[in-house]
Amino acid sequence: MFNSAKYHMSEGNYSVACSELRESDSLDPQVGTTMNLADCYEHLERFAAAWSFWLQAASFAAAKGEHDRDDFARSRARQIETKLLRATIVVTKQPARDGLRLAIDDVALPQEAWGVPIPLDPGKHELLAMADGVRPWRQSFSIEQGLEPTLLVPELERASPATPPPPAEGRSPWPAVMWTTGAVGVTALGVGGAFAAAAVVSETASNADRNCAKSGCNPTGAADRTRAQDDGVVASVMLATGGVAILAATTMYFTLRWGRSPSGNWTAAVSPTARGGVTTLTWSW
């Protein structure tokens, strides 16, 4: 990565070279890499970044006892110091100053840099102030020759508790319930009518050819009479259920037409007797 960056610098492609040097420096920090990175940014006229990396290289070299490199890096930093543009970030009194965090262009700004001129490259920047329990505050600003702003971070507003969004208004389910109930009612009436007709046929067959008389029924007549009773029970239940369903659908239709929605739950219950007919019919909203 370092050798590739040196090649791109020799070709004048400093944007690519600076990116590769940053990667090389993060993988294997060395004095020479940091010095080349500072020189690369200087060629891009990003003097604030170059100045910062020259000072980093000087500190790195001094820690290693490389005094020549230390002196060289500091001299290069002094040469471009006159080209630096600065901005001052002033922080007003905050309820939780210790928890306040500042960043310029997503790069953290330590507290020791608050209130003092800090070097920045020309162009547009964004200041971000944030802390737990308060609303983040942002401000965009520009810096150029002759324009070195002072920015004031105001007291940040307390964050209000999050209010849940109102429930989304969906389509009412009642029209679908109405049509479904009506369809069930019509079907039940049809089935009930069919079983009623079958019960009549079986009852008629039980009386044919004197299969049943007052004294009783022969086996053929008894079978027809039992079948007639069973069909009658089914017919009673289905006809009653169909009637209830049709009544419910009709009630829902007029309720919806008047601009109201049915409230609560509705139930219907039908109980047949052992010999046909209906003993109970329950309906409630």
pLDDT at 147 over 60: yes
For residues 206 and 242, state if they share a domain.
yes
- Among 4-18, 124-138, 222-236, the minimum mean pLDDT is found in 222-236
- Among 40-49, 60-69, 176-185, 251-260, the minimum mean pLDDT is found in 251-260
Q: What angle do CA 254, 259, 263 make, to 5 degrees?
A: 80
Tokens at 264, concatenated: 């609560």
In a domain, 158, yes or no: no
Helix or strand (DSSP H, E) at 174: helix 174-207
Which pLDDT value is given to residue 11? 93
Strands (E), the chain: 85-91, 101-104, 107-109, 117-120, 123-130, 137-143, 150-153, 212-213, 216-217, 267-272, 278-284
Which pLDDT value is given to residue 169? 54
Which pLDDT value is given to residue 220? 72
For residues 39 and 72, state if they share a domain.
yes
Domain endpoint, select from 31, 62, 81 = 81
Q: How far is CA 218 from CA 80, 175, 201, 229, 232, in A?
A: 124, 54, 18, 16, 21
pLDDT at 261 over 70: no
pLDDT at 140 over 90: yes
Across 23-27, 228-232, 238-242, the highest mean pLDDT is recorded for 23-27
Look-up of token digits 């040469």: 79
In a domain, 92, yes or no: yes
Short-list 145, 127, 45, CA closest to 86 = 145
Tokens at 13, concatenated: 């492609």
For residues 140 and 45, state if they share a domain.
no
pLDDT at 166 over 60: no
**CATH number of the domain bearing residue 56:** 1.25.40.10
In a domain, 166, yes or no: no
- d(Cα 22, Cα 140) in Å, to the nearest integer? 26
How does the average pLDDT of the chain come out, rounded?
Answer: 79
Which pLDDT value is given to residue 282? 46
Which pLDDT value is given to residue 247? 79
Across 139-148, 207-216, 255-264, the highest mean pLDDT is recorded for 139-148
Which pLDDT value is given to residue 172? 62
Length of the chain: 285
For residues 244 and 269, state if they share a domain.
yes
Which pLDDT value is given to residue 133? 84
pLDDT class for 256, splitting at 50, 70, 90?
low
Short-list 104, 156, 150, 102, CA closest to 125 = 104
Q: What is the mean pLDDT of residues 169-185?
A: 70
Q: What are phi and psi of 138, to 5 degrees?
A: -130, 150
For residues 188 and 255, state if they share a domain.
yes
Q: Helices 14-27 and 2-10 sit at what angle, rounded to 10 degrees?
A: 160
Helix or strand (DSSP H, E) at 244: helix 219-257
Number of structural domains, the chain? 3
In a domain, 244, yes or no: yes
Range of 29's domain? 2-81
For residues 118 and 186, state if they share a domain.
no
Which pLDDT value is given to residue 126? 94
In a domain, 192, yes or no: yes
Which pLDDT value is given to residue 273? 46
pLDDT at 146 over 60: yes
Which pLDDT value is given to residue 173? 67
For residues 91 and 77, state if they share a domain.
no
Domain endpoint, select from 66, 81, 96 = 81
Which pLDDT value is given to residue 210? 66
Q: How far is CA 124 from CA 2, 18, 105, 109, 144, in A?
A: 30, 20, 9, 17, 9
Which pLDDT value is given to residue 251? 75
Which pLDDT value is given to residue 58? 92
In a domain, 161, yes or no: no
pLDDT at 248 over 90: no
